[in-house]
A and B are shown apart, each in its own frame.
Chain A
Amino acid sequence: MDKPSETLHPNALKAFRVRGLVGFSVMIVLSITLLIISIIESEFPVWLSFSGFGLSLLIFMINVIIMPHLKMKYWGYEIKENEIDIQHGIIIVKRILIPMNRVQHVDLSYGPILKKFKLASILITTAGSNHEIPALDFETARKVHQTISHLVNLSEDDV
C-alpha cells in the first residue's frame, strides 16, 4: 500500500520546532527558578534544578531536533474525490480512511504559532470519530476545508 501522496508544508517543520522550543523554555525557566531557590535557601536540594536542566536538554533533543523531522517524514494525507486518506505514526503506524460522505463537519483552526508560519490544522469529524491533519499551509488548508465541505454537501446520505 502506497503512502498518501501529500505531505505537510515545509514550514510545519519550523512550527513544530518553535512549539518544542516553547516547552523547552518553560522547562529552562523552571530549572533556573529552582537553581535560584537552592542558592538562597541552602537546605533546598540542588539536584532538583540540575535534573531540571537535564530534562530540558532531553526535551530539546526530542521535541526540537528529532521529532519535528520524523513527523514531517511520517505524516501523509490525500484528499480524493470520495475519501480522505491519512497516515501517521513512527513506532505505531496508523492509516485512516474516511469515506467523504461520512464526514459530518470540518474544522479549521490555528494557534499563535501556526498563524505565525501561515499554517492551520484541520479537524475532520464523522459521526463516529475525529481525525486531525496538522499544519497545512493556509491556502491548502482553506482549499481542503472548502473541498471537503463542498463534497460533504453533495452527498446526502443519512446514517
Chain B
Amino acid sequence: MKRQHPIFIIKGLIDEIKSYIFPIVLFILFSFFGEDFVLIEDDWFLLVTLAFLFLGIVYAFLKWVFFKYQVTHEAIKIHSGVLIKKQRHIKKERIQTIHLESGLLYRAFKLTKLTIETAGNLNESEVSIEALPLDEAHWIKKTLTENKKPVELNQEEVNQDNLKTIKEIDMTTLFKAGFTSGSVGIVMALLFALIAQIIAFLPNGLETFFKDSYSRLGISLIIILFLVYVFIAWIISIIRYVIRYAFFTVTKENDDLMVERGLFVKKTLTLKLTRVQSIIITEGLLREPFNYASIEVEVAGGKTDKETELTIIHPLIKKHQIDDFLNEVFSDYQLTKTFTYAPKRARMRFLFRNLIPYVLLTPVFIFFPLSLWVMLFLPVSILIALSQHKHAGYHLNDDTLTLSKRVIAKKTIITKKKHIQALSFKATFLQRFKSLSTIMIHILAAPKAKSYQVVDLSVSDQEMIYTWLSKEV
C-alpha cells in the first residue's frame, strides 16, 4: 500500500481553512462591530486561532497517514478514514471513467488528483486520490483502463505510439468560440445582480438611482451605458470561456478518449468510446451564420464533466469538418445531410406554438398599452418558428438514427440503434387530426437518463422509425 505525496497535508489544511474561512471572517467582523474589541485585543483570539490551526494540521496529517492505496492489474484498493475507517476495492471492469485534475498548487509540484468513477449510486460512485505524482497517475490510468496486462511503471513509453492527438485548439479558435459561446446572457444577469447589490448600498437605493441618472444623463447616455455594460459582459464571458477551455486537447488512445482543458485548473477526462451513447452537434445562434458548431457526447455511467452536463469533445468546428472529425474519433458515426423533414401541414402548428405567449399577454397589452413594444419580437418569433419547422427531421440508416431539431439553437443528435433504450410516439388530438406525431427516444446518460424529442413529424415517418427499431438483429 502506498501513501499520497506529503503535499496533501498542505492541501488538506488549505481545504480545511477554506471551509472555515467564512465563519472566521464573520467572527472577526462581528467582534469588530461589537461594543468592545474583546476578542481581537485579548490573547484569547490568537490562542484559539493557533489551537484550531494546530488541530487542523494534526487532522490533515492523520488523514494523510491513514490514506493508502494500491493498484494491481485487476483492481484498485483504497483504505482511508481517521475515525471511521473505509476500505474500498474497485474492480477494473467496474470503472467507468478516470479523470485527472490539477490546481495551481499541484501543478507546481507536478502532482494531480485522480478521480475514479463507477456506475451506481451517485454519491458513492466515486473515489479520488489526491496529490499523486503526474507520471504515476498516468500509469494508474493506463493500468486500470487497459485490457492487457499492465506495463511497469518505468516503461511508460511503451504504448505511446497508440496515442493520437486529434484536436488541439489554437488561440484564434478559442477566442472565436468564446466570442460566440452565447453565455453572455448569463454573465449579463450575474453582472446586473452585482451592480444592483452595489447600488443598493448607495444612500438612495435603486429606484432613485435610475431616476436620477435618467434625468441627468438623458436617454442617449443610458443607451451608451447599456452598450458598455453589454460589451463588458461580453468580454467577461470570453475570459470565462478561455479560462475553462484553454489548452483544449482531444487525444485518442485505443478505445479511450482523453479530453484535457483549463487555463489554471487543468482537467483531464477519460471516457471509453464504447460507452458513448449519442453525439450532439449544436449550432448556436451566433455560430450558425458562420457555419460553426460544437460537438458533445453523452456517456453512460458516472458523472461526466461537472461544469457542463454533456462532455464537449470539440468546442468549435467548421461544419464541413465534422465528418472527418467524427471519423477520426469514432469511425462508426457519420453525419448525414439528407433528412426527412416535418411535412408542410405541420408548419401552422409551429407558428401557433410560438405565438401562444403573445396571445397569453393580451390582457397585459390591454391594460398597459406601453408594453406593446414586446410585439417588436413578433417577427423574430415567426422566423424562429419557420426555422424550427424547417429543421425538424430525422434520418435512418442501418444502425443509426439521426434527429434534427431546433428550439433556439439547432441541434443534431446522432445515436445508434443499440443505444436507444425505448422509443415512444405521442400524438395529441389535434396532431392526429393532421396525421402528425411527436417522436421521442430515451437514452442512457449521466447523471440520469435522457430523452430527445422531435415534434410534428408525419405519421408515415412514425411508422418508418417504428419498423426500423422493431427489426431487431
A contact set with B: CB distance below 8 Å: 1, 80, 82-83, 85, 89, 91-102, 126-129, 131, 157, 159
In the bound assembly, the distance between CA atoms of A100 and B421 in angstroms comes to 9
- A131 to chain B: closest residue by CB: B422
Assess the B420–A102 pair: CB atoms within 8 A: yes
Assess the B277–A99 pair: CB atoms within 8 A: no
Q: Which of A89, A102, A157 has the most CB of B within 10 A?
A: A102
Additional pairs, 15, CB under 8 Å, beyond known A99-B420, A100-B472, A128-B444:
A91-B428, A92-B429, A94-B426, A96-B424, A96-B425, A97-B466, A99-B422, A99-B469, A99-B470, A127-B421, A128-B443, A129-B422, A129-B442, A157-B418, A159-B275
In the bound assembly, the distance between CA atoms of A131 and B449 in angstroms comes to 14
Secondary structure at chain B's binding surface: helix, strand, loop or mixed? mixed
Secondary structure at chain A's binding surface: helix, strand, loop or mixed? mixed
Known: A127-B300, A128-B442. A93 touches B418 (CB 8 A): no
Q: Is B432 interfacial (CB 8 A cutoff)?
A: yes
- A84 to chain B: closest residue by CB: B422
Assess the A126–B421 pair: CB atoms within 8 A: yes
Q: How far is the CB of B274 from chain A (nearest CB, A)?
A: 8
Assess the A94–B428 pair: CB atoms within 8 A: no
- A95 to chain B: closest residue by CB: B425
18 A-B contacts (beta carbon < 8 Å): A1-B459, A83-B470, A89-B426, A92-B426, A94-B424, A95-B425, A96-B425, A97-B422, A98-B421, A99-B469, A126-B421, A126-B422, A128-B445, A129-B421, A129-B449, A131-B422, A159-B300, A159-B444
> What is the size, in residues, of chain B's interface with A at 8 Å between Cβ atoms?
31
Assess the B451–A99 pair: CB atoms within 8 A: no
In the complex, chain A residues whose CB is within 8 Å of the CB of B459 = 1
- For B409-431 the 0/1 string (1 means CB < 8 A from A) is 00000000011111111111100
Q: Is B463 interfacial (CB 8 A cutoff)?
A: yes
- For B457-473 the 0/1 string (1 means CB < 8 A from A) is 00100110010011010
The residue that A97 contacts in the complex, of B419, B443, B444, B470, with Cβ under 8 A, is B470
Assess the B422–A98 pair: CB atoms within 8 A: yes
Q: Is B450 interfacial (CB 8 A cutoff)?
A: yes
- A1 to chain B: closest residue by CB: B463
In the complex, chain B residues whose CB is within 8 Å of the CB of A128 = 421-422, 442-445, 449-451
The residue that A96 contacts in the complex, of B300, B301, B423, B450, with Cβ under 8 A, is B423
- B427 to chain A: closest residue by CB: A93
- A94 to chain B: closest residue by CB: B426
- A91 to chain B: closest residue by CB: B429
Known: A83-B472, A128-B449, A128-B451. A102 touches B422 (CB 8 A): yes
The residue that B451 contacts in the complex, of A89, A127, A129, with Cβ under 8 A, is A129
In the complex, chain B residues whose CB is within 8 Å of the CB of A95 = 424-426, 462, 466
In the bound assembly, the distance between CA atoms of A96 and B423 in angstroms comes to 6
In the bound assembly, the distance between CA atoms of A85 and B469 in angstroms comes to 11
